[in-house]
Amino acid sequence: MTTDSARLLRLSLALALGGFGIGSGEFVIMGLMQRVATDLQVPVPDVGYAISSYALGVVVGAPLISSLAARVPRRGLLITLMLVFAVGNMASALATDFWTFVGLRFLAGLPHGAYFGVAALVAASAVPYHMRARAVARVMSGLTIAIVVGAPLATWAGNLFGWEVAFIGVGVIALCTALLIRLWVPAQSPDPNASPRRELSALVKQRVLFTLGVASIGFGGMFAVFSYVMPTLTEQAGMAERWGPMVLMVFGIGTIIGNFAGARAADGNLLRAIPLILIWCALIQAGFYFAANWAVAGIVFVGLVGTSMALGPALQTRLMDVAEDAQTMAASMNHAAFNLANALGAWLAGITVKQGLAWSSTGLVGAALAIGGLLIFLSGRALEKRNRMPAGTYPKKISTDDGNPD
């Protein structure tokens, strides 16, 4: 392995570890709802407020941090974000009442979007232009691996030793990430022309808004299916509940495969990859509607639905191309959009089931959202061609300065 390859590997591992910690912290509470509710003396459904609070923190934190930290060197910003995430999770473990816990989950969610956005930019700047999406995928691999390993392991530890242990463990991962970023991620010189106003300009750029619209709508299909996958397979397909952990693992493996496959497709031809991925999402989510009548077929399609994660690195790379000089804001808002997709997909799927349709109708909701995302993308491209906009203006080289102690 060459020196450059070793440096890239260390950088990727450090940034992916942060994604692993964030993913573990985000998903673990879903497996600890009963324990949290019992200890904090609230009904189990009320724990959903803590999940929503975290998601709200992501949506609020992405634009707020991106604008206020416009002139902060990226390595220093990543370290700070991990330290805030560590504090939010460790403090969550010390909460003595439910509403304090809810507030601390909001705090823990604030760095989420900004971390992934900035980490994606740092990773992309370390590789040749045609390998950006795969660099982004390596960062996001921490999140997908958390679904398979991190969240289940934290859930096991939380149920065995107390839910507080799970959040303390996530905090420790965040602290380790901060240290590794300091050691393995080279310093990058801050842009002297950066400003909050310039970053906020991303929110009025037509192509950025269209791309965020694709993320908010098109990505919602995966969450529409995943949010109700267990009752769908147990109630409709007759699957035994003991197979639940395996179902979640199959889904997680699907997200890992989709993440890297989507990145490779995006590096090959980004503007072709995004609509093809959305068509794939629509087909497999519609297929889940039929497959969920049988346990084995349903489980297979759960894994295929997980491959919808292919959209993640593709959209992140597209934002790099269209954000112009508001890169941090656009990249961070992508993950805020993913959280909106999560909320929208789960909400629409829940309404459908409450109307008396089959549990597997969540797959039809997912397919409709994927088609909606495709229509948004095609509309954006049509306007882009009409206005004769260039394909992208991503800076192909970002200056670094290892001697700048940020």
Q: What is the pLDDT of residues 167-216, one digit of tens each?
A: 999 999 999 999 999 999 998 877 777 788 888 888 888 999 999 999 99
Distance separating alpha carbons of residues 67 and 90, to the nearest angstrom: 26
Region 104-124: mean pLDDT is 94
Distance separating alpha carbons of residues 156 and 24, to the nearest angstrom: 12
The verdict on 302 and 340 lying in the same domain is yes
Band of pLDDT at residue 402, cut at 50, 70 and 90: very low
Number of independent structural domains in the chain: 2
The verdict on 39 and 152 lying in the same domain is yes
State residue 70's pLDDT score: 84
Q: How far apart are the first and last CA of the chain?
A: 28
Candidates 232, 251, 89; CA nearest to 174 is 89
Percent of the chain whose pLDDT exceeds 70: 95
> Distance of alpha carbon 209 from its chain centroid, rounded?
18
Domain hosting 140: range is 1-193
State residue 343's pLDDT score: 84
| Structure-token pair, residue 251 | 């889904």
Q: Does residue 398 sit within a domain?
A: no
Q: What are the C-alpha distances in Å from 390 to residues 129, 223, 373, 394, 397? A: 16, 33, 22, 11, 18
151, 27 Cβ separation under 8 angstroms: yes
Chain segment 302-311, per-residue pLDDT in tens: 999 999 999 9
Residue of 17 and 34 predicted with greater confidence:
17
Band of pLDDT at residue 286, cut at 50, 70 and 90: very high
Average pLDDT in the chain:
90
Q: pLDDT at residue 388 above 80?
A: no
The verdict on 274 and 294 lying in the same domain is yes
The verdict on 306 and 342 lying in the same domain is yes
State residue 362's pLDDT score: 94
From 193, 219, 243, give the residue that closes a domain: 193
- DSSP assignment letter at 189: P
What are the respective helix, strand and coil percentages of the chain, to the nearest 5?
Answer: 80, 0, 20
Longest dimension (CA), the chain: 63
